[in-house]
Amino acid sequence: MRSIQSPSLGELTDFVSRAHAEGDLVTIFATCRVEYTGAREGKIGEGERLIICKKDGAVTVHRPTGARAVARQGIGSSLETVLIDDFLRIYAAKGQSEQIRVDITDASLAVRSSATDEAILQENQTENQMHEFIQSNPEEIEEGLRIIEHERWTPHGRIDFYGADTDGNNVILEIKQPVAQYSHVDQLHRYVSYFRKSDDASVRGILVAPEVGNKVKRLLRKQGLGWKQLTEYQINSTPVNQTSVDEW
């Protein structure tokens, strides 16, 4: 393991380039801005973040808080480092459409390591664990979402979560494990219909599951409902380099 503290941008460029060429994992604590395209598109202004460049081409950018990466590029990506005027650009791409650009203006620490991990990932996630996670991290379902009540009673059964979004809509979350099914869509639709009849505010419904198939998504759209996949709660037992939690 090697590290470099408070490097100049030139030193950092050389450090990252050499580490990646030699197959090392690189972590950088830096001030940066980010832009990405692909399945998701967006950009993030300048801030202090943790950047991870993995030996398989994956790149992730994390804020100082929060569980998930705010931007990421998948495995198998090509990686380049380019010094441009007053910033270092880390550029990773996979094909024509999937790209991430991380522009570093200042760095406090960079570390490279030849770390290896061949252990088998075995997950036994339960619906209760999903409930606990969502109650503590509602922003993982939707930015600005507030949980008002857990397991709220209705004549059709207890809904898992009753909340509110930033637009003033009430939001009903129905949590299912391991795979969303047609019957779950019908159940959520009954809850939403009940509250639309009884509440003044508009009501939205979101079905949350580790896996939501295309046919279920089509039915959700038809019913005017939404969905959120929490793929990290998929039940599996796979080698680490095939894990379903690639998003992290």
Instruction: Say how far apart CA 63 and CA 20 lie, in whole Å.
Output: 23
Q: CATH 2.70.180.20: which residues of the chain? A: 2-113
Confidence tier at 75 by pLDDT (50, 70, 90): confident
> Within 13 Å and on the Cβ side, how many CA atoms surround 170?
20
DSSP assigned state of 134: H
pLDDT at position 123: 55
pLDDT tens digit sequence for 187-203:
999 999 998 887 656 89
Which amino acid, 65? T
Specify the fold of 122-237: Trna Endonuclease; Chain: A, domain 1 (3.40.1350)
CATH of domain 2-113: 2.70.180.20
pLDDT at position 245: 34
Instruction: Say how far apart CA 182 and CA 231 lie, in whole Å.
Output: 19
The mean pLDDT of 71-83, rounded to a whole number, is: 90
pTM (predicted TM-score)? 0.55
Is residue 207 within 8 Å of 186, Cβ to Cβ? no
pLDDT tens digit sequence for 78-125:
999 999 999 999 999 987 778 999 999 999 999 999 999 888 666 556
HEC states along 174-212?
A: EECCCECCHHHHHHHHHHHHHHHHHCCCCEEEEEEECEC
Residue 68: partners with Cβ closer than 8 Å, 6 or more residues away: 62, 140, 247, 248
pLDDT at position 127: 83
Q: Choose between 201 and 21: higher pLDDT.
A: 21
Q: CATH 3.40.1350.10: which residues of the chain? A: 122-237
pLDDT tens digit sequence for 114-151:
999 888 666 556 788 899 999 989 999 999 999 999 99
Is residue 110 within 8 Å of 16, Cβ to Cβ? yes
Q: Residues, the chain, total?
A: 248
The mean pLDDT of 215-224, rounded to a whole number, is: 94
pLDDT tens digit sequence for 142-186:
999 999 999 998 888 889 999 999 998 999 999 998 899 999 999
Q: What are phi and psi of 116, to 5 degrees?
A: -130, 155
